[in-house]
Structure 1
Amino acid sequence: MNEAFHQEMREDAATRNLCAGVYLDRNFRSTVIQKVYNDTRRRVAPSYGFDLVAVVRHAWRAWALEVIQDVGILGMLLMGFVANAPVTLTAVSWIALGHLVRMALRNALVLAPLKAKEVADRWLHRDRWASEGELLRVHARLLRISLGASLPLLLVPMVVSGLVGRPLARVVEGAVWLVALVATWAAGSAVAKRIAINKMHNAKSLRIVPRTGRLAAISFQEKHPCVVYSRPQSAEPARKGRALVTPTLFDDPDPFDEPSLFVGSGRLIHRWLPPLAIQLLPSDADAPVDIDIPFEAHELVGRLKKDLDAMRPEEDAHHPTKLRGLECRSRLYIAEADVSATNRESLHVHPDSQDLESIIDHPNKLYHHFLEIVVTDTGELVTSIYLRVTVKGRALSLDFAACALTRTPEEYGIFDAGGRSGWIAVVRSALTGLRDLPLTVGMVWRVAAAPATLVRAVRASKRGAYPRRHVPGSGTQASIRELKSMKWEEASLDKFTIYDYMKIIEQHLLKTTKEFLDGRGLDTSTFEKQASTIINSGVLNMGGTTEVHNSAVGAHSQVKADIREDANSQ
């Protein structure tokens, strides 16, 4: 048997990719630190398929490496300026010159084919798009700017040596040593970052014990069954000259901006609208209709959970009757506006079985109970199913919703291909650090924000958990996992995997519910018809949008494709 055909991804692949992302993406790292660790005002979103504590821990390590890099470069330049200002000015001018030369080369490579096409169009008398001419002028302008700014920088060594009365050779020699020292420090920082990524990638497990109060609070909140969501704000009247846009239920959420009910679980791809509702009538036609309902809602929820738990693999994860990565638990949702001093304590303790049964049986409470079923193999693709069971008005209501988390960015997950892991990647990182030296030196000013970040981190560590007093706007917002998920329209084959899991869980829920109702002597004929409609027709699938491209409406209508469309978009 060829083992190459049987390789599998790690179960914590999503966690490892996000941990690598905080080293590779500074904006993502800043979001993790500022929006998750330092922001104690908002409750942490549930984590689906990944470990948030590990990501936060590596975000701080990556932040520390960057601060050490910036402090080292800034210290070298400041000490060099105090000791020998002409040498330091020359060194800085050379580093800036390297950036301008690289900028000129990039624009020249783009400008050359555009210029050649312009000449060919002129000779062949072909029509040209105005956008092509504008693109040619922009790159030509950038090329002139980079070349024009390079000339004064070339004269900096001669000017400063003449002003201070020192030999040009000594100024140049000192500048060479200073540039070499700064470049070595930048390359060493890039190597340290790559070694940290390789160490994380080769670790057997990324699970860590929270050592600070804030990390302990994050670990507690991401696993807590209660979620505080924010109701959508009422739309403001449209201002003059600006259209009023109202987000719909299935729009992609804007992370850390638009509120969502199933926060952290990704895009809502499917929902029964309206919910499935049937009257609870006895199966015996001679029985009185007004008999008492022979069960409570929590009994059906318990039966559903028991049957789903039986599908979890214990030994053989690939058994055909099991679902790998299946988890089934209760999830409680409460609106941010409904959180008060009386029920705020519930956010700091886990509810017991009696509390859950009371919430399920009384749907008029502030908390809304959903049976949450999550299926994921590696955390890269997560299918989350939410089922709300209520019994009221002598009717059983089933509210079904499905959400999906797509893959993390591809650049976060490539380690072994093309020498991206091991010592080859370390050497490549050193060369990349040398290539990006001008950008690194130009961004040393960001070290000024480090003290404020540390102060907020210390304050967050002291506060630890979610503040007990009511804070306006403290509802849970979108998670970092949602922030770094591929767009649903680009998921390609992953959509079929997600829909596959969704339909499997959907059929199991309907089958178990029918068996439960039959066992209680209730009529299930109406339920069977509605369940058959849901399974077979799929007309209740509300996910996705309808897009119409290159179409015509009306008699004798025609569509003519414009071959210049690509050029216009470019």
Structure 2
Amino acid sequence: MTQQISAALPQYHDDEATRLMCGYAYLNTAFTDAVLQDLVSERLRAHGLPLGIDLVALVRHARVARRLHAIRDALLTACLLVLLFALVAAFITLFGPENDLDERLSDCARLAAYGLLGATLVTFVAAVVCRRAARRVHRGKGTPREGAPAVRSRIEEELDERDETNVVPYGTSGEKERPFVGNGVRISETVWAGIEVGRPAQDDQGADLPMTPFSAADLHTRLIERLADTSGIEELRARNRLYVQGHQAHGLGAELLPDPLRRPRTHIDPALVEAGIAEKDRVMRTYLALDVVGAGGAYVVTMFVRARLSRTLLSWEVSAYVLPPLHAVFRVVSQLPRGRLEELWQLFGVTLSGLWKLLSRAPARLVRRGTQGVRNVWRLWWDRRRITHRKGHFDYGTVGSVRAWAADLERLDYLQQMDVLDTFQRLQQGVLLVTEQFLKDHNVDTSDFERARTLITHHSYTFKGAVVGQNIFGSGGTNVATGTVVGLPAASGAAAGGAMPPPAAKAGGTTG
């Protein structure tokens, strides 16, 4: 029995990661464009999993932010044209007739001053609007998606369905084909020691009890029903997912691709998902995904388990991954000043430091946005032509997730390390306990289970290395003290399974 504590600690948003990413969309044009390109413009390949991020809210705010950035860039381009016109006029005046030279140069200087003043004013106002929008979505009382107008209903429906998807086509273009793209840094990949399940249990008199037949799918179902209570992890989400190689998506026919010229479905017949549990083919298999989003989305732990039942031997295939916190640049949103004087002082600094960069690159950004739509149409036409002429040999698989792209492998502090390790151990112990009880309920002798559990616990807890110390996740994983991943560059969201390069921006500024 626990004692009730009367005092209450401060409470924080449980969707902090979503708020930071939505707010950052207003502060960084490149990030905004990348989000919309990945989640809206891409029409054929599957979306990555949300992993604690409200993708609908992110797209809504990114759409609003893009409009604000477009207005800013159009006005800055007009100011730049005024400046260029003034410079050209001054140049012509210097080499033209000398009549009223001083007066004409004065007019050119005045025109240039107007252009520069206009650009300064546009930059300042844009910074005010964007920073206040970012602060509003981060500190607002409502949900992030309530703070921006809806986009096309079809897009929102597709993004919402990713939370409950039971099939994941994954891209196979990387050096190492792993179905769990976008889930972060590998903690562990192993197959647990096998358990003999062919002997019946005995009653108190030593007589054999009748064994109840079971399948690997039955064991998956029991885990879905009992694991949250057994492990004590309230936020655990367990779901069977069929992972399919993207270039083999056509193998499921209309169930996954009712229209080969559109994005794959997010839901298929549950019977097909269940059939994938016992599947041994290299093209598609079903895994039980155990997702735990911790600390408002600061980190995500995912364990993929798959029961391997071969005659009288049961073993578990286990892969565990962790998504570290968001990149440090996203903290700019939470550090926006509240006081008027501090805000004004910072706005002046941001305006003066970023004026030339925003002004000089405004035309390029406008052209890039204008041509991006043309490139998207051309790429869509070309991809659909490939699909039509090659009879479906096209990789529909996702190549990552927005959340993984935004992750920073160096940002996993002590508290988060301990939370991740605790979560992993709870999940592991929960799987073992539920498995043991499942076997007992089916009158299976579990004497061999104790031997296997000792081996599993020892090798998993050590991660082939020390549980404590710098190499907490051991060989083949990540050193969470330094962020170094074996075979992957540090501090890169792409290394964690992201689809795009990690974001970068000056702290406190509205960037182009």
Q: Specify which of 364, 369, 383 is matched with residue 450 of structure 1.
A: 369
Describe the SS at the equivalent of 2:181. Answer: coil
Q: Specify which of 282, 294, 298 is matched with residue 199 of structure 2.
A: 282
Describe the SS at the equivalent of 1:372. Answer: strand
Question: Bigger radius of gyration, 1 or 2?
Answer: 1
2:288 paired residue number: 371
Q: Is the 8 A contact 1:271 1:541 kept in 2?
A: no
1:220 paired residue number: 161
Give, in whole Å, the separation in 1 of the partners of 2:393 and 2:345: 49
Give, in whole Å, the separation in 1 of the partners of 2:7 and 2:101: 69
1:149 paired residue number: none
The code of the aligned residue for 2:27 comes to L
Q: Is the 8 A contact 2:172 2:245 kept in 1?
A: yes
Q: Does 1:494 align with 2:404?
A: no
The 3 A distance-change label for structure 1 pair 353 and 49 is same
How far residue 412 of structure 1 moved from its aligned partner, in angstroms, is 1.4
1:380 paired residue number: 298
Q: Specify which of 431, 436, 443 is matched with residue 514 of structure 1.
A: 436
Count of residues paired in the alignment: 445
Give the TM-score taking structure 1 as reference length.
0.68
Give the TM-score taking structure 2 as reference length.
0.75
Describe the SS at the equivalent of 2:394. Answer: coil
Describe the SS at the equivalent of 1:268. Answer: strand
Residues 230-266 of structure 1: CA deviation (Å, up to 9, x unaligned):
3466xxxxxxxxxxxxx6xxxxxxxxxx754212221
Residues 479-532 of structure 1: CA deviation (Å, up to 9, x unaligned):
111111121585444222111101011101101101111222222222211212
Structure 2: segments with no counterpart, 5+ residues: 257-263, 382-386, 465-472, 480-512
2:321 paired residue number: 403
Residues 60-80 of structure 1: CA deviation (Å, up to 9, x unaligned):
222222221111121233356
The code of the aligned residue for 2:365 comes to R
How far residue 362 of structure 1 moved from its aligned partner, in angstroms, is 4.8
Q: Does 1:182 align with 2:185?
A: no
How far residue 534 of structure 1 moved from its aligned partner, in angstroms, is 2.2
2:170 paired residue number: 229
1:53 paired residue number: 56
Q: Does 1:76 align with 2:14?
A: no
Q: Is the 8 A contact 1:297 1:390 kept in 2?
A: yes
How far residue 159 of structure 1 moved from its aligned partner, in angstroms, is 8.2
Describe the SS at the equivalent of 2:315. Answer: strand
1:28-39 mapped onto 2 (5 Å cutoff): 28-39=31-42
Q: Specify which of 169, 173, 177 is matched with residue 110 of structure 2.
A: 173
Give, in whole Å, the separation in 2 of the partners of 1:4 and 1:173: 64
How far residue 25 of structure 1 moved from its aligned partner, in angstroms, is 3.1
The 3 A distance-change label for structure 1 pair 410 and 293 is same
1:152-167 mapped onto 2 (5 Å cutoff): 165-167=101-103
The code of the aligned residue for 1:514 comes to E
Q: Does 1:305 align with 2:227?
A: no
Give, in whole Å, the separation in 2 of the partners of 1:206 and 1:457: 28
Q: Specify which of 250, 254, 264 is matched with residue 182 of structure 2.
A: 264
The code of the aligned residue for 1:226 comes to V
2:277 paired residue number: 360
The 3 A distance-change label for structure 1 pair 383 and 159 is farther
1:397-476 mapped onto 2 (5 Å cutoff): 397-415=315-333, 417=335, 419=337, 424-425=342-343, 428-444=346-362, 445-455=364-374, 470=392, 472-476=394-398
Describe the SS at the equivalent of 1:522. Answer: coil
Structure 1: segments with no counterpart, 5+ residues: 90-155, 234-246, 248-257, 312-320, 549-570
Q: Is the 8 A contact 1:381 1:404 kept in 2?
A: yes
2:499 paired residue number: none
Q: Is the 8 A contact 2:290 2:303 kept in 1?
A: yes
The code of the aligned residue for 1:77 comes to L
How far residue 415 of structure 1 moved from its aligned partner, in angstroms, is 4.5
Give, in whole Å, the separation in 1 of the partners of 2:321 and 2:369: 37
1:95 paired residue number: none
Describe the SS at the equivalent of 2:144. Answer: coil
Give, in whole Å, the separation in 1 of the partners of 2:99 and 2:431: 84
What RMSD, in angstroms, separates the aligned Cα atoms of the two structures? 4.0
Give, in whole Å, the separation in 2 of the partners of 1:161 and 1:500: 82
Residues 78-124 of structure 1: CA deviation (Å, up to 9, x unaligned):
3565588436x8xxxxxxxxxxxxxxxxxxxxxxxxxxxxxxxxxxx
Give, in whole Å, the separation in 2 of the partners of 1:218 and 1:38: 13
Q: Is the 8 A contact 1:14 1:379 kept in 2?
A: yes
The 3 A distance-change label for structure 1 pair 214 and 453 is farther
Give, in whole Å, the separation in 2 of the partners of 1:383 and 1:361: 25
Name the % identity: 22
Q: Does 1:196 align with 2:196?
A: no
Q: Is the 8 A contact 1:191 1:430 kept in 2?
A: no
Give, in whole Å, the separation in 1 of the partners of 2:208 and 2:97: 106
Q: Does 1:211 align with 2:152?
A: yes
How far residue 49 of structure 1 moved from its aligned partner, in angstroms, is 0.8
Q: Is the 8 A contact 1:270 1:541 kept in 2?
A: yes
1:527 paired residue number: 449
The code of the aligned residue for 1:390 comes to R
Q: Is the 8 A contact 2:425 2:461 kept in 1?
A: no
Give, in whole Å, the separation in 2 of the partners of 1:532 and 1:414: 47
Mean CA deviation greater in 61-70 or 418-427 = 418-427
2:238 paired residue number: 328
